[in-house]
Chain A
Amino acid sequence: MTATALALLARRLLTALPIMLIVAALVFTVLRLLPADPLGMSLPPNASQADVAAMRAEMGFDRPIAAQFAIWLRHLAEGDLGTSIHFRRRVVTMILTALPTTLELVAAGLVLGIALGIVCGMAMFAWRGTLREQLVELGSTLVMSVPEFLWAILLILGIGVGLGLLPFIGRIDPQVTVPATTGFLLVDSLIALRPAAFLSVLAHLALPALALALALAPLIMRVLRSSLIDTYLEDYITLARLRGIGERRILWRHALKNAALPTLSLIGVQAGFMFGGTLLVEVIYAYPGLGSLMVDAVRNHDLPLIQGIALTDCVIVLAVNTSVDILYLVLNPKLRKQ
């Protein structure tokens, strides 16, 4: 089993490189279509033509696209993604600072969304053929028609401003501090043994994570329900019933394990997409993550920063897909033999 998993991992890594290269080239070319001058915002309005030309030459924008891309790749190989035009800071540093924030948020959103989805999916299956099932399904259709960033706004209006229950600006109360060790504030506050900080981080995480979870849960719920229905049509379930195994045991020991596989591949795809979903959620909750950084970069036409974040997103999605595929392989005995 491990041998197959390792072979898959190796194959995935081999195909990931060309994909990343093509994505990087694609993004690079698209960004150079830009009608506006990316330097427009970083020069004073009274700059002379010579100043502009000098700056373009300094940034390398006067060369052909292929040459610019080659330079960018050579720097990438040295672990350098260039310098942000707008912030005048190294792109690698900026991304590494923002990344833990986004990873923490997405992880919380995933855990919450998967838990909600599984509970509702099993409830829907248990209530199949009843009015309750119809109601849950109607509810899920309504929930699904609100995208993440609108959930973010509605949750702020209802729970943040309306009820005043949870904070909705930033990652932590401004008067609480945590020494930065990993960048994951939940982990850092635990390491520093500061329960007050931990609770503050958790409270700040609640609403944005819920906004992400509400977009994911209905999808999981539906796929889990329909694969449970499919699984119960299989002969081995009937066989288990004939052998006198209790319904509860059939569900937990036999059906759920098999029904989980389609749900798992759905989660794989959606987990990657969630890094797109955090974009506006982070902006709305003033979360200093990769999404906020990307929106800032896009608003300022900050090409090196956009390019760097785009590559990071691609690496993350490929990593998520690969991990899910390996998990799938480990869980599914049919695939293991091939």
Chain B
Amino acid sequence: MPPLLRRVLTEPRAVIGGVILLLVLFVALLAPALAPHDPAEQDLLRTLLPPAWLPGGDWDFPLGTDSLGRCTLSQLIFGARVAMIVAIAAASGAAILGTILALLAGYFGGAVDWLISRAVDIWMSFPPVVLSLIFMVGLGAGLANVILAIVIVDWTRFCRIVRSEVLAVAKRDYVPAARLVGFSHLQIIVKEILPAVTPLLLTLISIEMGIAVIVEAILSFVGLSVEPNVPAWGVMIADARQYMYQAEWGLILPVLGIFVTVLGANLLGDGLRRSLDPRLVRRVAA
């Protein structure tokens, strides 16, 4: 086993976070097999049921029902699909866009760097949530548009941090050495610089997955994310909020779903940072 991988696997945070995310992913992938009901199926005679173990509960609906008598457990399970698709696609998209721009800015410097850095400045002069809201108004509802909106808003999180890392790496001796040996710019960027910033990138992607889940939930809550017939945690929260005096579980459960997923992403990110960041390793040793 490579030493880096072993370091990650012996860091409890990374392992616990990774396991949580894998479990959510597993639930999302197997949703049709795991869910006891069709998430859209309504049972108007059994609305706002509490979880089965509470008085008035019904084991047909293990976690109760919402105001239209839809099975909360099935909605939660199918909601994991939207959350995981957005987490994975938006985080990778933002990472790819942000890293490409960071590599260009950090490696070539000069006008390229100036232009990209000013773009980051402009993006940062705006609360990210507001910016994604505006993009969603322009793009319209839909899963692909949510992912696009998050990528367009959050690439700066990657670009800013990776750029300064690229600047530091590009100064190391082996980069000019590679030039002297006759490597092209593209070869140096791909073979020398990209591997050096990969540990940082993995940490950032993991944290961004949590952010993407939150942003999607916010957009769903406002009614600007997926189409209305797709089950999503944010939509569940917005619906259940109107009935919180009668049925608090309908509100607590989707909140828990978001919390567990974001916790997994944060723990994994934290664990990766601790096990992969050479500066931090040095400081802990000191």
Contact = CB atoms under 8 A, between A and B. Distances in A.
Interface residues of A, number: 54
B211 to A, nearest CB: 9
A30 B218 contact: no
By secondary structure, the B interface counts as: helix
B161 to A, nearest CB: 13
Given A30-B135, A31-B134, A272-B127, A157 B259 contact: no
A277 B139 CA distance: 22
A149 B139 CA distance: 24
A284 B125 CA distance: 25
B125 A321 contact: yes
B137 A34 contact: yes
Interface in B140-198: 140
A279 B139 CA distance: 20
B235 to A, nearest CB: 14
Given A141-B267, A298-B222, A35 B140 contact: yes
A31 B137 contact: yes
A275 B129 CA distance: 9
A33 B139 contact: yes
B128 interface: yes
A157 B221 contact: no
Contacts of A301: 137
Contacts, number: 125
A161 B224 contact: no
A141 B127 contact: no
B251 to A, nearest CB: 6
Q: Specify which of A22, A23, A161, A280 lies most central, judged by the most chain B CB atoms within 10 Å of its CB.
A: A280
A321 B127 CA distance: 12
Contact of A298 (B124, B133, B140, B267): B133
B128 A273 contact: yes
A337 interface: no
Interface residues of B, number: 42
A145 interface: yes
Interface string B243-277: 01100100110010011001100110010000000
A19 interface: yes
A27 interface: yes
Interface in B217-250: 217-218, 221-224, 237, 241, 244-245, 248
Contacts of A23: 122, 125-126
Interface in A286-317: 294-295, 298-299, 301, 306, 309-310, 313-314, 317
B255 A154 contact: yes
A60 B135 CA distance: 22
A3 interface: no
A30 B263 contact: no
Contacts of B130: 275-276, 279, 294, 309-310, 313
| CB-based closest 8 A-B pairs | A276-B127, A276-B129, A145-B263, A33-B138, A30-B138, A145-B262, A147-B214, A35-B140
Interface of B: 121-122, 124-130, 133-140, 210, 214, 217-218, 221-224, 237, 241, 244-245, 248, 251-252, 255, 258-259, 262-263, 266-267, 270, 283, 286
16 contacts: A22-B122, A31-B134, A32-B138, A35-B140, A141-B266, A141-B267, A144-B266, A150-B258, A154-B255, A230-B283, A272-B127, A275-B130, A276-B129, A279-B218, A280-B221, A306-B137
